[in-house]
Structure 1
Amino acid sequence: MSESPSPKFLESLRNLTGSVVSMLQTRLELASVELAEERTRLMKVALLACFGLVFFSMALMTFTLLIAILFWESYRWQAIGAIVVFYVICAAICLFIARQKVRNAPPLFESTLAELDKDREMLRR
């Protein structure tokens, strides 16, 4: 003897399914908004970094030329060598700091994952 499920149970099950689907849709929308914001932020940072690198490169070339002209008669090779060593040290420091920043970066969808954890905990109750 099997009893057919009551209409209220089926309606509750539909409501629960609708709520879960709605929560999932909301979380996916949040993830897409976060992704769009991150993409926009990264594009701005990349553009500013490119302009900064261009201007910094021009300043370094001018500085190198100035030092070479100042020491041309007496210590030109030593001056140019010292500048090269200085540039290599600066590059190594920058690469080290960049590597640390990449390693310590937060997860990409941190807010979305936190909301999904809250949803999972709410559904367990």
Structure 2
Amino acid sequence: MEHSEPHPPGLIASLAGVAKNSLRLVLSRVELAALELSEVRNHLVQLSVLFALSVLAAWFAIAFGTATVIYLAWDALGWTILLILAVVFAIIAAALIMSIKKLIRQGRLALSATMAELKADRDMLL
């Protein structure tokens, strides 16, 4: 018996293999994106709840603290205490906005692993 070499696959079989591998690649990327989106969603929900609670607590603290300061300082400063408190609250608001920008720049809401994989796929194909 002669041992013959296997025949190379035909064009249709090669195209089917490429299509199957491409589909597997796309499915793995979709699964990765879905996993990262669920993590981002969980972080957004957690961030939203913490933000809402902190805003509520801050409003109560600001209201009661401001009323107390105005009551105690009115005899000595008069209407000037209102201007001082306005400046203090403006500085606090600016600091909070800078903190929010810092959190956004950290990239916790980005799909970094998915984007890196898609870029690698693009670079490999091109």
Give the TM bin, normalised by the shorter chain. 0.7 to 0.9
TM-score (structure 1 length as normaliser): 0.78
- Name the CA distance, whole Å, in 2 between partners of 1:47 and 1:70: 35
Instruction: Output the aligned Cα RMSD.
Output: 2.3
- In the alignment, residue 21 of structure 1 is paired with which amino acid? L
Q: Deviations over 1:15-49 (max 9, x none)?
A: 12101111101101111221121112111101101
1:61: Cα distance to partner? 1.1
- Name the CA distance, whole Å, in 1 between partners of 2:103 and 2:54: 19
For residues 1-125 of structure 1, what are the structure 2 equivalents within 5 Å? 7-99=9-101, 101-102=103-104, 104=105, 106=107, 108-123=110-125
- Name the CA distance, whole Å, in 2 between partners of 1:77 and 1:101: 37
Runs (5+) with no aligned partner, structure 2: 1-7
- Name the CA distance, whole Å, in 2 between partners of 1:26 and 1:76: 67
1:64–1:80 CA contact under 8 A, matched in 2: no
Runs (5+) with no aligned partner, structure 1: 1-5
Which stretch of structure 1 is more off in the superposition, 38-47 or 8-17? Answer: 8-17
TM-score (structure 2 length as normaliser): 0.77
Q: Secondary structure of 2:35's match?
A: helix
